[in-house]
Structure 1
């Protein structure tokens, strides 16, 4: 008997017991094996219509209806019957006890959304990162940062343990997807068990649930690769994830352009990284003025690198968790570029040219020792961090036809300890004791030979060289105690504490004369700035929740004393301030999955020692900075509105938001620019800055095509002032970006993915006079990538990637680039070995140009890229 019949159509109406239509219900037709034959959602009037082309005879099919809040319907189809009008019975259930039982699959239960990894994985995938990028609602940036429906994740757990801290990129690249049963998204996540249901949270975390059989033994990979021209790429990793022990240790080395320093990127919030919201001092000196090109670093990173990333965790029987994270990096890389920078003034145009070949020797050693107990009745955590890192860089440079050599050396010594103890009392109230202490220093030395800009630096006399030294050794301490009330209509938390900061800013500018003697720069004394800032603070947090409304009001109050002195400049200032920086966060649940949130924050922020030092600092060969103003004070108002929409059962995720901020500062940076050097001074004049941005995104799994599609867009505008050569220039910048993406599986052997981005940037001078020559500027940039994977037979995969970039603007000619790569892999299943051939930059693009636009500054950069490469690699599963 023929098992198939001609195409048929079934239709019907879904309604409740009181006659109301049931919209957006999932209506599926399944065969005798439970597999979906056809799918449709009911429309706003409750109607559905499903066409069954060349399906099995109706007697072998069943009709399933699922909808949140209603009992499921499951009935057989009958031959000759085309219409099915059904009445759904309401059923009170916890949020989303409904699951998409077809492949791919998402389950939603309460605040936890679970992606079945196996149903999203494809045979060509290797790591969990490969699968994660395909999951609707999830987003992974080129740097490795993970977002869920537009929001950065706060934690990356492996079976409930935070093994990798904020440096989870190494995990998504290394952990095989076959080890992971499901990926959980934890919405409204509260990492402290003692605070569960006692405070509100808007954090989102990710948890990898490891398969039971993958927890039983140590596993890992050994990779060895070699190729032309003189390329090598190796890796050895070990993985163990069980209840008691977890480890992920990775040893790498390569010269194929893989930036190993990126594995140490931290993606957590500033508060979580520092333990106290403390910002570390920024480096004062640099060796150049051009940034990196907007390309994957592998295109231009000419390197010889080795790294060790060790992460080990043990859970003891008494509930104490011990964790050891250690990172090490040795690297040598080079960068060659040339640049043109133009500054448009009211009656003049200043141009700088630069050609530089830089050789860098960065190194990193960092160790984190953590002891934690996260119980229902108390929380204890102590984190000790030790860091020693630095970089030595040498370069040959030609600027405005002046040739020179530079050397920049820096060292970072960083120590911090964070101690938190939060016990719950018998009545449920929670006490929280927190202590954070940090010492940080980054001494830097910049040398330039021969002496340059003699007219500015050496009274017009030729000289042999420059040596600029700078450092800002800093001690920071924060101690606080808080008490949280567990009961009451309004949840309350009160805190008191102190912060202390002691810092010195020391700099010395020395000029080596032609006779070999070294003299201080005569235009300014050295900096010996002593800085202190102390604060006594208290705050109250009030949380209210009723039905669908949730609101959190924070009212901080602080008394702050700032003092700084430098005897060489007769500088001795002390300022006292009373600070009130309230914030409000409110969220309304429009239904069980969607919400509308509003945020407001008032900030009364103050500058640091970088804004008050008086002595001249040569921050790079082309810029001298100093200050002639009081401590910078900035008042800012920030408003935000966000809407989150998701339909887990339909795999549809949408987010949209707007942000407006306005700030007023009591200082403005004034720059005096000549053809050779720029001098920047902070002056005591009011300065207003305002900005507005809107963004949104949609991510959807298309069942009919087995594809994930996404679209993101953002628009921003900002107004700010610049003071250049004593001329006030107010600017208005606008930018619009749209980014589509899609990934699909075709004919069960072909996979295709696409990612694009288009950006339009405009900068114009506001209310310019007829005499000014500052013209409006606009740049249009398009970046598109497409990848095609083909499996001609089992265990063989061929992938071809192409990337096209296009930039246009008013004056210079349009630039466009096309990059192509190929990858061939064959899996020897019996030997648990993969053989690979990687062909990179097939078009052999060895140079790259970029254009940038910011206010009245136009920039052009030209970079040297890596050429064509071929690497053969063997990967063995341990």
Structure 2
């Protein structure tokens, strides 16, 4: 680490620079906001510099000393002005006054004008070459260097604190719009520009009225990549130890004006997942963005565990994305995905139970083996009969199979038992939607959407043990070996429809009318039985187990939204009237409720200028219970848990409010983001828990007990000389009432996380980042618990001898409990890559888990239990890989 600071300090001393600042205005003194200031060096071996004026017309340029520059200022509709700055000039301030061309231009074509960042109302465009040093391999490394953009370890992208929800390449969705596949596979040298589009809508003529909250990122490719096959392939094998670690990866792309094809394939056993859960949920969606998605029943979590918190991980992945225009009016796109994952994990935990007279602790050892298969096929038709009409049809088929073998050894102060759980689940879903949009004239536009989804989920579980368990909760008969079989069947069919009319009264007043219907029909069945060694069957259905529920929920609604604008302030109040009808049939019990509920909402945005805004959203919502929550017979959940639903549940009701502020000031090199949210449930469904030893019985109860959740997330980053300094925070306060053993307790769960990150921001310097995060967690309920965490992270990338790149990242985590007892975990990964410029071959030597740590430690707490956990991780991975760039 000392080497990093010495290197930075020496670079700081040796690099001489000078600043020039001032104002850009017209000849009447009116500031010209977001003018482009370009400093072109008039000698070799010096880089071009740029700046963008802020909304007050102020600019600041950082220039090299001893270099002669031609500084050009341009603004649309004005004659550009040029200043020649001599080497070692003493000039530190200069105001530019541009004269109007005096012409009203319908179209402006600017040739060879360099604009590193262009800011428009809803679009932010980055020119990649202004931020790249040429050593980046993938799109992720480019994005991390763009001001205001961040990429996390899961491949999620945020811009000025707002998450990117749609990823596109050349204006077309990339693998359903997920970000991880794009940022980790698209080659950096194929990128020309990055466009960030707020309030994104696929339908151009709908953008003015749709009020979409989507944030899209569109990748513009270099001209020589737009009709060309590009990408890379990589293969690697272990060169130390004998663990059999290997990897093979391919990312191949073909882009042409009418045909786009992308293929991504990956095989590895080093714990690397190819796509994240957020991306998978997008693939899993298959529904229109105009309709709120129903909760999916299929279990897809196993396919997205991008972590090394396992002792073995084998992954096979293949994905094909295509898009082609069959005619000027019709285009067809789609994707196919196949994934196969095998994982083995091992976890040891110490559980301290609260308010429990029988059992005070449990030592639990858990070994888990899982094998999961997933296949997804999706096709979308985009038809535009004319410029004012758009049709979409999307269809998706999905199938998955999960096999899990889990062994748990539970040791308490009164008993010791070993359980084996074997689970299998076959899941199928078919989803489709149709959209129609039509603009009749500049005042009237309509949208009609129909969404349909069918899902079938059939999990089967078997528990095996040699001792009786869950005494008093399940009707076991004495036997030598206890074998319990459980089958669940869940079928769900959803049909949603929406008709919406947009009336643009004038530029400052809009009126939107909504009519819709949401319908869900579900069947939920469960059965449990004991297989006795004498060949007979003990059916739990004779003792209150076994569910067969027919569930229907219909929601018909009408809504009115009024959008008006006063200067820079835009408001949209709305009110929706819902007619809910819920009916269930089970065990000769018919239950029906009908409710008419009014749900107001309000959206407001104040735009101070193009790069500073304040947004507020409020909504009153009602959510009805799921079918499994209303199943009023017992259901075995785990080796120590039984659940019983409540057939008389009604709707939860909650208020949700959100306030968001964002600002980007290029003149001062500062980016602000802050979000404050408040959620309050006034009608709450929460499980009542009965605890006896380690055994738990829970059932949901609807109460008027309020639950409140406050959360604040914020960050501010500032460029200081050639460094970036960032401060971030994540604070939350959650209060709720929980019943354990018939004792209702007011619980508070509070968390505070504050972090500081320091990184270099100069193309000629190594990329170095050092961060520190301090976390606090408090639980106040049956007991008081306080935990702290200290996390130190650092990353470095150094290029030397032109063709060698050395990377290293290090993470150090310390957890501290109530009694000042600590556990510790650190991990480092490093690599050395050789890639000669213009050569297709690259060679890399990399090491994961450099220190060969065996376990990862952490603390957690629930309403009745405190847990210290040790998770076993993959051993050190020492590999050599060869890549070939097309």
- Could you report, residue by residue, the CA deviation over 1:591-634 in whole angstroms, capped at 9, with x for unpaired residues? 23211111110112211212211111111111100034622321
Residues 855 and 88 (structure 1 numbering): CA distance in 2 closer, same or farther, change over 3 Å? farther
1:148 maps to 159
Structure 1 residue 739 corresponds to structure 2 residue 755 = yes
- Could you report, residue by residue, the CA deviation over 1:234-293 in whole angstroms, capped at 9, with x for unpaired residues? 12332012221111111211111112463883465998756532423547999xxxx999
| Mean Cα deviation higher: 538-547 or 866-875 | 538-547
Structure 1 residue 476 corresponds to structure 2 residue 490 = no
Q: Pick from 238, 251, 274: which aligns with 2:252?
A: 238
Structure 1 residue 341 corresponds to structure 2 residue 338 = no
Structure 1 residue 795 corresponds to structure 2 residue 795 = no
Residues 48 and 251 (structure 1 numbering): CA distance in 2 closer, same or farther, change over 3 Å? closer
Gaps of 5+ in 2: 1-15
2:430 maps to 415
Secondary structure at 1:611 match in 2:
helix
| Mean Cα deviation higher: 737-746 or 391-400 | 737-746
| Mean Cα deviation higher: 479-488 or 523-532 | 479-488
1:817 maps to 825
Find the aligned partners of 1:211 and 1:53 in 2 and give their Cα distance.
Answer: 29
Gaps of 5+ in 1: 1-5, 766-773
1:565 maps to 585
Residues 598 and 279 (structure 1 numbering): CA distance in 2 closer, same or farther, change over 3 Å? same
Structure 1 residue 445 corresponds to structure 2 residue 460 = yes
Contact 2:161 2:673 in 1 (8 A): yes
Find the aligned partners of 2:178 and 2:95 in 1 and give their Cα distance.
Answer: 52
Contact 2:545 2:633 in 1 (8 A): yes
Find the aligned partners of 2:409 and 2:300 in 1 and give their Cα distance.
Answer: 19
Structure 1 residue 528 corresponds to structure 2 residue 548 = yes
Contact 2:54 2:666 in 1 (8 A): no
Residues 282 and 274 (structure 1 numbering): CA distance in 2 closer, same or farther, change over 3 Å? farther
2:850 maps to 842
Correspondences of 1:468-867 after superposition (within 5 Å)? 468-488=486-506, 489-521=508-540, 522-567=542-587, 570-628=588-646, 630-648=648-666, 652-665=670-683, 667-702=685-720, 704-705=721-722, 707-744=723-760, 748=764, 750-765=766-781, 774-811=782-819, 813-829=821-837, 831-867=839-875
Structure 1 residue 190 corresponds to structure 2 residue 201 = yes
Contact 2:151 2:157 in 1 (8 A): yes
Q: Pick from 243, 256, 262: which aligns with 1:248?
A: 262
- Post-superposition shift, 1:63? 6.0
Q: Pick from 466, 474, 482: which aligns with 1:464?
A: 482
Contact 2:814 2:824 in 1 (8 A): yes
Residues 447 and 137 (structure 1 numbering): CA distance in 2 closer, same or farther, change over 3 Å? same
Find the aligned partners of 1:343 and 1:26 in 2 and give their Cα distance.
Answer: 63
| Mean Cα deviation higher: 162-171 or 333-342 | 162-171
Residues 346 and 211 (structure 1 numbering): CA distance in 2 closer, same or farther, change over 3 Å? same
Find the aligned partners of 1:436 and 1:267 in 2 and give their Cα distance.
Answer: 17
Secondary structure at 2:658 match in 1:
strand
Find the aligned partners of 1:678 and 1:839 in 2 and give their Cα distance.
Answer: 44
Residues 22 and 160 (structure 1 numbering): CA distance in 2 closer, same or farther, change over 3 Å? closer
Q: Pick from 298, 320, 324: which aligns with 1:314?
A: 324
- Post-superposition shift, 1:479? 2.4
Find the aligned partners of 1:196 and 1:449 in 2 and give their Cα distance.
Answer: 58
Find the aligned partners of 2:567 and 2:269 in 1 and give their Cα distance.
Answer: 58
2:10 maps to none
Contact 2:181 2:274 in 1 (8 A): no
Secondary structure at 1:738 match in 2:
strand
Contact 2:377 2:398 in 1 (8 A): yes
How many pairs align?
A: 850
Find the aligned partners of 2:551 and 2:403 in 1 and give their Cα distance.
Answer: 28
Find the aligned partners of 1:24 and 1:314 in 2 and give their Cα distance.
Answer: 38
Q: Pick from 361, 378, 381: which aligns with 2:389?
A: 378
1:431 maps to 446
Contact 1:28 1:36 in 2 (8 A): no
Find the aligned partners of 2:50 and 2:664 in 1 and give their Cα distance.
Answer: 19
Find the aligned partners of 1:438 and 1:11 in 2 and give their Cα distance.
Answer: 58
2:125 maps to 114
- Could you report, residue by residue, the CA deviation over 1:186-217 in whole angstroms, capped at 9, with x for unpaired residues? 12323212313344344321100011111122
Find the aligned partners of 1:8 and 1:476 in 2 and give their Cα distance.
Answer: 64
Find the aligned partners of 2:20 and 2:515 in 1 and give their Cα distance.
Answer: 67
Residues 749 and 398 (structure 1 numbering): CA distance in 2 closer, same or farther, change over 3 Å? same
Secondary structure at 1:582 match in 2:
strand
Residues 323 and 47 (structure 1 numbering): CA distance in 2 closer, same or farther, change over 3 Å? closer
- Post-superposition shift, 1:757? 2.9
Secondary structure at 2:611 match in 1:
coil
Secondary structure at 2:801 match in 1:
coil
Find the aligned partners of 1:371 and 1:46 in 2 and give their Cα distance.
Answer: 46
Contact 2:654 2:680 in 1 (8 A): yes
Find the aligned partners of 2:94 and 2:80 in 1 and give their Cα distance.
Answer: 15
Contact 1:31 1:62 in 2 (8 A): yes
Residues 160 and 211 (structure 1 numbering): CA distance in 2 closer, same or farther, change over 3 Å? same
- Post-superposition shift, 1:116? 1.5
- Could you report, residue by residue, the CA deviation over 1:633-683 in whole angstroms, capped at 9, with x for unpaired residues? 211112221111122566532111211111122543111111131000123
| Mean Cα deviation higher: 412-421 or 392-401 | 392-401
Aligned residues: CA RMSD: 3.7
Secondary structure at 1:630 match in 2:
coil
- Post-superposition shift, 1:508? 0.4
Secondary structure at 2:276 match in 1:
helix
- Post-superposition shift, 1:731? 0.8
Residues 242 and 52 (structure 1 numbering): CA distance in 2 closer, same or farther, change over 3 Å? closer
1:769 maps to none
